[in-house]
A = this chain, B = another copy of it.
Amino acid sequence: MKEGTSWTQIREEVLRRINERIWQPGELIPNEADLAEEFHCARTTVNRALRELATAGIVTRKRKAGTRVAVNPPHKAVLTIPIIREEVEAKGGSYRQSLLIRENRSLPAFLAGAFRVSETTPLLYTETVHFSDNRPFIYEERFTSLTAVPDFENADLLAETANEWLVQNAPYSGGDASFFAVSADAKLARAFDVAIGEALFATERSTWLAEAPITHVRLVYCPGYRMRTSF
């Protein structure tokens, strides 16, 4: 049929009225039926536009109570956690990795809180340096549960990074991540060729599949690295 207004146009118009304070924060905006009449379109189309705005946190919707302009702008940013090889190559660098350690280890005590496997779970520990244009870029320390991913013990980690192998072979249902600063210890200082105590950006991530822990990884980035996002 293609008459009236498209849902994206309605979304933009509503956004405009909110940004120009025609509809104030906290204020009730017209209901779907009225907006459909104003825009000469079906109520479904208005619904789509407002639903997207609600998902984005711009408005809040409740049955019977109606649709209101959200009081707080959505202080949210989507963080994309890239595959290291892709991050390096996206910046035009050449990627290389060096596998330093690969051995079975039990869970170290300091990880008991972050990585919830029992002390007897067999784990594979790997330590890898990722290079960008032959300069050390990321220092990776990873524990992977061989209970959750038995095949990982036989993975060829020289051809493929642990990250890539797991992405291809171990689905996960959730995870958590943290971001912080560390001082370079002797090992990191040597790896990055900086002084001991240098401030480095680091992240830790755990992933699991239906409550079963899969892997825990700590990445320490080279000096000066910034993780970026837009919103």
Complex Cα spacing A209 to B171, Å: 40
Complex Cα spacing A115 to B227, Å: 17
Q: Which residues of B sit under 8 angstroms from A118, Cβ to Cβ?
A: none
Q: Is A99 an interface residue (CB 8 A)?
A: no
- Residue pair B201, A200 in contact (C-beta under 8 Å): no
Complex Cα spacing A75 to B205, Å: 11
- Residue pair A229, B171 in contact (C-beta under 8 Å): no
Complex Cα spacing A95 to B44, Å: 44
- Residue pair B78, A72 in contact (C-beta under 8 Å): no
- Residue pair A176, B76 in contact (C-beta under 8 Å): no
Q: Which residues of B sit under 8 angstroms from A201, Cβ to Cβ?
A: 179-181, 201
Q: Is A154 an interface residue (CB 8 A)?
A: no
Encode A15-48 as 1/0 by CB contact (under 8 A) with B.
0001101000100000000000000000000000
- Residue pair B231, A175 in contact (C-beta under 8 Å): yes
Q: Is A120 an interface residue (CB 8 A)?
A: no
Complex Cα spacing A78 to B200, Å: 23
Q: Which residues of B sit under 8 angstroms from A167, Cβ to Cβ?
A: 72-73, 75
Give A35-86 interface residues, CB cut-off 8 Å to B. 72-73, 75-83
Which one of B25, B173, B179, B224 contacts A19 once the chains associate, using CB atoms below 8 Å? B173
Q: Name, among A79, A167, A172, A182, the residue most crowded by chain B CB atoms within 10 Å (CB to CB).
A: A79
Q: Which residues of B sit under 8 angstroms from A228, Cβ to Cβ?
A: 176-179
Q: Which residues of B sit under 8 angstroms from A182, Cβ to Cβ?
A: 181, 199
Complex Cα spacing A227 to B209, Å: 23
Q: Which residues of B sit under 8 angstroms from A178, Cβ to Cβ?
A: 226-229
Residues of A within 8 A of B (CB): 18-19, 21, 25, 72-73, 75-83, 167-168, 171-183, 197-202, 209, 224-231
A-B contacts, 15 of them at CB < 8 A, read A72-B167, A73-B172, A75-B80, A75-B83, A76-B80, A76-B81, A78-B78, A79-B229, A174-B230, A178-B226, A179-B227, A179-B228, A180-B227, A199-B199, A201-B201
